[in-house]
Amino acid sequence: MAGNSFGKIFKLTTFGESHGIAIGGIIDGCPAGLSLDFDAINTEMQRRKPGQSAIVTQRKEEDQIKFLSGIFEGKTTGTPIGFTIENTDQKSKDYSHIKDIYRPSHADFTYDKKYGIRDYRGGGRSSARETACRVVAGAIAKQLLQNLQITAYVSSVGEINLNKSYSEVDFSEIEKNPVRCPDPQMAKKMEEYIKSIKKQGDTVGGIITCVIKNMPVGLGDPVFDKLHAQLGKAMLSINAVKGFEFGSGFAGTAMKGSEHNDTINPDETTKSNYSGGIQGGISNGEDIYFNVAFKPVATIMQKQKTIDSKGNKAIAEGKGRHDPCVVPRAVPIVEAMAALVLADFWLLNKITKL
Amino acid sequence: MAGNSFGKIFKLTTFGESHGIAIGGIIDGCPAGLSLDFDAINTEMQRRKPGQSAIVTQRKEEDQIKFLSGIFEGKTTGTPIGFTIENTDQKSKDYSHIKDIYRPSHADFTYDKKYGIRDYRGGGRSSARETACRVVAGAIAKQLLQNLQITAYVSSVGEINLNKSYSEVDFSEIEKNPVRCPDPQMAKKMEEYIKSIKKQGDTVGGIITCVIKNMPVGLGDPVFDKLHAQLGKAMLSINAVKGFEFGSGFAGTAMKGSEHNDTINPDETTKSNYSGGIQGGISNGEDIYFNVAFKPVATIMQKQKTIDSKGNKAIAEGKGRHDPCVVPRAVPIVEAMAALVLADFWLLNKITKL
Amino acid sequence: MAGNSFGKIFKLTTFGESHGIAIGGIIDGCPAGLSLDFDAINTEMQRRKPGQSAIVTQRKEEDQIKFLSGIFEGKTTGTPIGFTIENTDQKSKDYSHIKDIYRPSHADFTYDKKYGIRDYRGGGRSSARETACRVVAGAIAKQLLQNLQITAYVSSVGEINLNKSYSEVDFSEIEKNPVRCPDPQMAKKMEEYIKSIKKQGDTVGGIITCVIKNMPVGLGDPVFDKLHAQLGKAMLSINAVKGFEFGSGFAGTAMKGSEHNDTINPDETTKSNYSGGIQGGISNGEDIYFNVAFKPVATIMQKQKTIDSKGNKAIAEGKGRHDPCVVPRAVPIVEAMAALVLADFWLLNKITKL
Amino acid sequence: MAGNSFGKIFKLTTFGESHGIAIGGIIDGCPAGLSLDFDAINTEMQRRKPGQSAIVTQRKEEDQIKFLSGIFEGKTTGTPIGFTIENTDQKSKDYSHIKDIYRPSHADFTYDKKYGIRDYRGGGRSSARETACRVVAGAIAKQLLQNLQITAYVSSVGEINLNKSYSEVDFSEIEKNPVRCPDPQMAKKMEEYIKSIKKQGDTVGGIITCVIKNMPVGLGDPVFDKLHAQLGKAMLSINAVKGFEFGSGFAGTAMKGSEHNDTINPDETTKSNYSGGIQGGISNGEDIYFNVAFKPVATIMQKQKTIDSKGNKAIAEGKGRHDPCVVPRAVPIVEAMAALVLADFWLLNKITKL
């Protein structure tokens, strides 16, 4: 109810502030009998982790997951999976420079007004640190959906666009460069651009494309819980996201029906796939693909005009180690959220018909 | 659970197929003591209704709402508001031409595969007729939120774009033309384009922009139920929607943090509003604005290759009276869904702090 | 959220006041492909209906169900089943004698205080008329669970107790007498007692016992949603219910563990069944049995001291046709609620393990 | 969905097995700005703790709560309150004697059948150890409801019944004896009886009565979520509970309406209170009172016939330190669950009317 849970059947509830003792969560509704690959879970955590390359924040967070329940002899038991991740790098800092200041385009002002109280140590609950919990749950959801292939990559950084369809790129290139762009030349350009932006103490936005292959037919619920509506909500819930489009997306608005309609082949595939694998909110077996727009990170190493909590004029200036561009580290988060949505519908679909 | 409900506190559940006896719904959680303006509700229904102009479908649906409960002497009683709308134009038709055929980019194929059974009379549950129920509930939500001003309009039809910020247009022009575009010249162009498309038996997509003024600070929940995530889900759940962006949206991905950040003025307003009135998922009091992308309507008056339910090749061809462009009639639906999201958060916000 | 929905997967939401236009509901989450036996549904409605015998209220309500959606060619389609039941006997009455009066042990006072407004025509939303909708949904749930045998009967009226275990009585006798007691002699006594109470203008309470045979193992969720906790909530939500006990119940508190424990036989049955077929909140395959306590109906044909809505002293006196004892008509309601609980868990159980 | 959450607004989700690393939970929806009294929380934990007297289990569990989030400078922040309690006494034990054996009237058999896998170390998820998390959340709920007085006590142990109304006893006596019975003489008898039962290696059941004073009018939702239905579910979800009755309860079934009806006084109180403070599912301001029946603990120090997981005959025999009677330690759990139900409705009631 208060916004800290995601999913209907495979349900994740998270807790934790960026600079508290720990963050963590409960995964409730994971079926019993799933053999967990803990290395695979940790690999996902490493992909999201700070400090993994020169173009991301140099903060040190070990992001060690401690599973507390719901797993016995390596298998899920059907009972809730509780887990925590300690905030090792967060202790005994000095927050006096941000304690009373509302940083522009951060959630400081809105949290203070909504709750009348705010954990001013870093982003608190509004920090993207919370997404570490999503990656844990998403990694388990992926294992539940082992036949599906969920792949996200960076398709744009600032004004540098990949400008290629997902079918034209080589997914095996994605993890070979720190930007996570499947085109090595483009990745290099993006990397250099991010470095130059970082030098300026500035930040930049970008776009992540996500593709789901080997989709079963029939996932998604009609009307309000359409598959793309849940995917859209999942993506828009990630920090810094400003937009979501699937299939033909915004460009599809300029097309005619006679161009856009995906005629159906005798083998039940479609000739084109402007629908993005979803019709009437339900998967049709074609590839699902969508774009997620991320704004430039709000924390910049430059002086900005703002006010403090008493309404006095003030100056905000970022300190410490922040991401100049969030998209490389957001790739596993996008995949995790997609996995959560799909796991939910995959389970629900088992009880849709007699 | 099965996707037919929307909202956490102010909750709408709908039922009904396009060609059944009636559609309808239950609004549960509307506070007691709200004096309802039934004329205002009917006005919203008229805006969505077929047959209202030459550029929309000429089907005749009276869309007479029958309130069955939850209202006493003109006021809400706090008990569920049940209502039905009869399907007056839907009876005794011949559906043999679509009975077994999977129309391209419709939900025929996916419903059949998901449920193993399909009400083949028209779109059934996947028809946009269902949105009439959303307009009923949205009209009541609007009355609950009487201080807020929720305004949607058409900002693009096919390749014809308004290319103006919402602050540059005159909202009072919107309802003066059948396209619902606030710029009279542009509206004329769009109208003519829709007419030409209709003559070709084709359809075209478009974009609706929605603006919410007089927003209170503090609406929206952290993490998964961010205000824009719920708005996004609400919009993506509307038939034919392919994308959603708020504030700077996809264009914001090309900006730098130093440009994009909304510095805060001493009066708690922000200098720019790239955030689109939402920070950390919570409203900051600035105007909320977002775009919703609609694909071209799938039903076209042209022959298309497809298959029937036995896997045989078949030809689909639209018959009867369909919309050549859905955006003019979708304007009140976008407003209704926005109102539902806001009513929910407005109520939840009353119990957020002591 | 507002209390008008029941169930997690197989979900019923109801609406309607006793003297409004109609009552009705939406059943969301019924799997597709269930062939409905409408005669069986109507039979359940007849069992609950007023006027069926001399010992129940003589009100005339046809209780004609109008299904509006979710059913096609006699089968469920997986989309929501909307239905209404008109309030045929309720129109143009004179309610001036109860308009401002708070009837003792009715919900008049509490509704007025909670909502600040009250539909004073009869019981409004608090009337047991609402249970007609539960019987509709329960009858469908029963058809989903066709292998299970859910049987309720009257085991006590006032101080007249059957004093027999469910295994000692003949279920085929239940529907042969108007009290719905499986022991013909006892039924006669109860019937006469109810008649004498009615003559006095008074009312009396009673107990319904419900037995579920052919239970599958594994229904029920741990911790908060234990099978008996959901059954208890379901029963306590029925009008006039004051208590619930299952298996050994209150009497079991006086037993020792060595007597109460149900030792397990090699065929996985248990020797005794003090557990009432439920261990750790999950069915173990033995018969489930429970008792539901109903208070005497609050509407009596006698003068009672009370106050009006302005705090003035007043006299309440029942008029019209009311039940002297509610248990005979509540038997199908108890069964319906049990069926709703079981249908929910039966569906959930399909996704509990890989 | 999977049964590990309780509450609609003030929502507790728990995790953890009795012999895993830790148990814990997330409280989501507690309003911001509540100053927490941690001593009061610990006092509740001490009341539930093993080893507190000679008549309860002598296990040693420190039950140290570690709050991880949602609290800042002693106040709730409106974000989820995550907490863990380590299982300090549970490590490196030998479970070979129960590994494959289905203990009679335990959940071993049902968990194994439902999930196909079972954490055989102690009761796992079905252990009453889980209730420690409920006491944490309940203690916070109590602080939210500081004007209400929620008091539970033992009113029966085996066949020894207090046989006094709650209005005839002195609540200040409850915590002065290890049984938590408000009558010192009766408490002594119960204590001796429990000791004799313990010597026999046997166990015995009992009844807890709970009273809520200073109730506001208007808590509870109509139809399915009646205040007593939620209280009933809450109580029935506690381990070993077999029954629930409120107000006149089962005894009320033998009364006539003319005796049972609570006539209303000019000051809006009622003359009698057979309704138990609840009419139509909504509190009327009178005291709420209810009884909760607990069966004898299933673990006895005697040999019992059973089977193992392969269907072979086996002998189960309790080892170690177990409660001979659960009711003394269950008193704070009953209060905690009552507090959770009331906190939920207290918050919901703030948005019921305009």
- Among B254-263, C97-106, C150-159, which stretch is predicted with the lowest mean pLDDT? C97-106
Task: Please state at what angle helix C327-348 crosses helix C227-236, rounded to 10 degrees.
Answer: 150
D65 vs D132: CA distance, rounded Å: 9
Contact B79 C17 (CB under 8 A): yes
CA distances from C160 to B169, C175, C200, D253 (A): 78, 19, 18, 10
**Count of CB pairs separated by less than 8 Å, B with C:** 163
Q: Tell whether C354 is within 8 A of chain B (Cβ).
A: no
Q: Tell whether C172 is within 8 A of chain D (Cβ).
A: no
A191-200: burial string, b at 16+ Cβ within 10 Å, e else:
bebbeebbee
Strands (E) in D284-349, as ranges, are 288-294, 303-307, 313-317
Residue-wise pLDDT for D129-148, tens only, equals: 999 999 999 999 999 999 99
Contact B11 C21 (CB under 8 A): no
Q: Tell whether C352 is within 8 A of chain A (Cβ).
A: yes
pLDDT value, residue C88: 84
Residue, of D94 and B72, whose pLDDT is higher: B72
Q: Tell whether B116 is within 8 A of chain C (Cβ).
A: yes
Q: Tell whether B350 is within 8 A of chain A (Cβ).
A: no
Rounded mean pLDDT of B78-86? 97
D185 vs D190: CA distance, rounded Å: 9
Q: Is D273 annotated as a binding residue?
A: no
CA distance B137 to chain D (A): 17
Contact D21 A66 (CB under 8 A): yes
Q: Is there a contact between B107 and A282 (Cβ–Cβ < 8 Å)?
A: yes
Residue, of D61 and D151, whose pLDDT is higher: D151
Q: Tell whether B252 is within 8 A of chain A (Cβ).
A: yes
Is the pLDDT at D57 greater than 80, yes or no? Answer: yes
DSSP structure string for A130-186: GHHHHHHHHHHHHHHTTTSEEEEEEEEETTEE----GGGS-GGGGGGSTT--SSHHH
Both tokens of C196, joined, read 């004498």
**Residue among A82, D242, A233, C87 at smallest CA distance from B241:** A233
Rounded mean pLDDT of B134-159? 97
Both tokens of A72, joined, read 């016995």
For chain C, how are helix, strand and coil distributed in percent, rounded to 5? 30, 25, 45
Is the pLDDT at B96 greater than 80, yes or no? Answer: no
pLDDT value, residue B25: 98
Spell out the residues 6+ positions from residue C245 whose beta carbon is closer than 8 angstroms to its own.
Answer: C290, C291, D242, D243, D244, D245, D250, D293
CA distances from B320 to B122, B324, C245 (A): 11, 12, 60
Q: Mean pLDDT of all residues in chain C?
A: 95
**Phi then psi dihedrals of residue C246, to 5 deg:** -130, 160
Return the number of other C-beta atoms located less than 10 Å from residue A71's C-beta: 23
Secondary structure string (H, E, C) spanning D89-123? CCCCCCCCCCCCECCCCCCHHHHHHHHCCCCCCCC
A235 vs A241: CA distance, rounded Å: 7
Estimate to the nearest angstrom the gap between the alpha carbon of B58 and the chain centroid: 20
Q: Tell whether A348 is within 8 A of chain D (Cβ).
A: no
Q: Is there a contact between D17 and D335 (Cβ–Cβ < 8 Å)?
A: no
Give residue for tokens 């915004």: A250
Residue-wise pLDDT for D153-171, tens only, equals: 999 999 999 999 999 999 9
Q: Tell whether D351 is within 8 A of chain C (Cβ).
A: no
pLDDT value, residue C347: 98
Rounded mean pLDDT of C314-322? 85
**Residue among B336, B354, C271 at smallest CA distance from D140:** B354
Contact B352 D222 (CB under 8 A): no
A45 vs A51: CA distance, rounded Å: 12
Residue A350 with chain C: CB contacts under 8 Å? 350-351
Residue-wise pLDDT for D303-340, tens only, equals: 999 999 999 999 998 877 789 999 999 999 999 999 99
Residue, of A246 and B119, whose pLDDT is higher: A246
Rounded mean pLDDT of C43-64? 88
Residue-wise pLDDT for D247-277, tens only, equals: 999 999 999 999 999 999 999 999 999 999 9
Percentage of chain D exceeding pLDDT 90: 88
Which residues of C, range 141-160, sit inside 8 Å of D by Cβ?
156, 158-159
Secondary structure string (H, E, C) spanning D203-219? CECEEEEEEEECCCCCC
**Residue among A76, C212, C263 at smallest CA distance from D109:** C263
Spell out the residues 6+ positions from residue D233 whose beta carbon is closer than 8 angstroms to its own.
Answer: C224, C229, C230, C232, C233, C236
Give residue for tokens 């002065």: D176
Q: Is A125 annotated as a binding residue?
A: yes
Contact A68 D84 (CB under 8 A): yes
Instruction: Work out whether strand C206-213 and strand B71-72 pair parallel, antiparallel, or are unpaired.
Output: unpaired
Residue-wise pLDDT for B13-45, tens only, equals: 999 999 999 999 999 999 999 999 999 999 999
Residue B9 with chain C: CB contacts under 8 Å? 1-2
Amino acid letter for position D137: A
Contact D260 C205 (CB under 8 A): yes
Query: Considering CB atoms only, which of D205, D245, D252 is closest to C255?
Result: D205
Q: Is there a contact between A139 and A67 (Cβ–Cβ < 8 Å)?
A: no
Estimate to the nearest angstrom the gap between the alpha carbon of A138 and the chain centroid: 10
Name the β-bridge partners of A291. Answer: A209, A245
Contact A80 D26 (CB under 8 A): no
Q: Is there a contact between C190 and C157 (Cβ–Cβ < 8 Å)?
A: yes
Q: Tell whether B311 is within 8 A of chain A (Cβ).
A: yes
Contact C2 B78 (CB under 8 A): yes
pLDDT value, residue C282: 98
Q: Is the dihedral of CA B212, B213, B216, B217 positive or negative?
A: positive
Contact C79 A351 (CB under 8 A): no
Contact A34 C79 (CB under 8 A): no
Q: Tell whether C206 is within 8 A of chain D (Cβ).
A: yes
**Count of CB pairs separated by less than 8 Å, A with D:** 162
pLDDT value, residue D58: 81
- Residue C236: closest C-alpha in chain D: D229
Spell out the residues 6+ positions from residue A96 whose beta carbon is closer than 8 angstroms to its own.
Answer: none
Q: Is there a contact between A55 and A191 (Cβ–Cβ < 8 Å)?
A: yes
Over its C-alpha atoms, chain D yields an Rg (Å, rounded) of: 21
pLDDT value, residue A92: 55
Return the number of other C-beta atoms located less than 10 Å from residue C320's C-beta: 11
CATH no. for B5-351: 3.60.150.10
C222 vs A69: CA distance, rounded Å: 14
C185 vs C164: CA distance, rounded Å: 13
3-state SS, residue C243 = strand
Q: Which residues of chain A have pLDDT under 50?
A: none
Contact B82 C16 (CB under 8 A): yes
A264-289: burial string, b at 16+ Cβ within 10 Å, e else:
beeeeebeebbbbbbbbbbbbbbbbb
Q: Tell whether C78 is within 8 A of chain B (Cβ).
A: yes
Give residue for tokens 């709920």: D141
- Residue B127: closest C-alpha in chain A: A280
A141 vs A135: CA distance, rounded Å: 10
Name the β-bridge partners of A294. Answer: A206, A241
CA distance D138 to chain B (A): 18
Residue B115 with chain C: CB contacts under 8 Å? 32-33, 77-79
Residue-wise pLDDT for A247-282, tens only, equals: 999 999 999 999 999 999 999 999 999 999 999 999
Torsion of the alpha carbons at B222, B224, B225 and B230, rounded to the nearest 10: 140
C208 vs C155: CA distance, rounded Å: 6
Q: Tell whether C34 is within 8 A of chain A (Cβ).
A: yes
Is the pLDDT at C71 greater than 80, yes or no? Answer: yes
Contact B242 A232 (CB under 8 A): no
Q: Tell whether A73 is within 8 A of chain B (Cβ).
A: no
Neighbouring chains of B at 3+ CB pairs under 8 Å are A, C, D
Q: Is there a contact between C233 and C244 (Cβ–Cβ < 8 Å)?
A: no
Contact B32 D352 (CB under 8 A): yes
Q: Tell whether A354 is within 8 A of chain C (Cβ).
A: yes
Is the pLDDT at C170 greater than 60, yes or no? Answer: yes
Q: Is there a contact between C345 and C227 (Cβ–Cβ < 8 Å)?
A: yes
Q: Tell whether A89 is within 8 A of chain D (Cβ).
A: no
B144 vs A16: CA distance, rounded Å: 34
Confidence category of residue D188, pLDDT binned at 50, 70, 90: very high
Rounded to 5 degrees, what angle do the CA atoms C192, C194, C199 make? 95
Task: Please state at what angle helix A131-144 crosses helix A38-48, rounded to 10 degrees.
Answer: 140
Q: Is A330 annotated as a binding residue?
A: no
C107 vs C88: CA distance, rounded Å: 23
A318 vs A306: CA distance, rounded Å: 13
Estimate to the nearest angstrom the gap between the alpha carbon of A276 and the chain centroid: 19
How many Cα atoms sit within 13 Å of A342 on the Cβ side?
29
Q: Is there a contact between B24 and B14 (Cβ–Cβ < 8 Å)?
A: yes
CA distance D340 to chain C (A): 12
CA distances from D249 to A155, D259, D275, D341 (A): 66, 14, 9, 19
Interface test with C, best of D134, D208, D261, D348 (most C CBs within 10 A): D261
Q: What residues does each domain of chain B span? A: 5-351
Q: Is A297 annotated as a binding residue?
A: yes
Q: Tell whether A8 is within 8 A of chain D (Cβ).
A: yes
Q: Is there a contact between B121 and B100 (Cβ–Cβ < 8 Å)?
A: no
Q: Is the dihedral of CA C306, C307, C313, C319 positive or negative?
A: negative
Is the pLDDT at B186 greater than 90, yes or no? Answer: yes
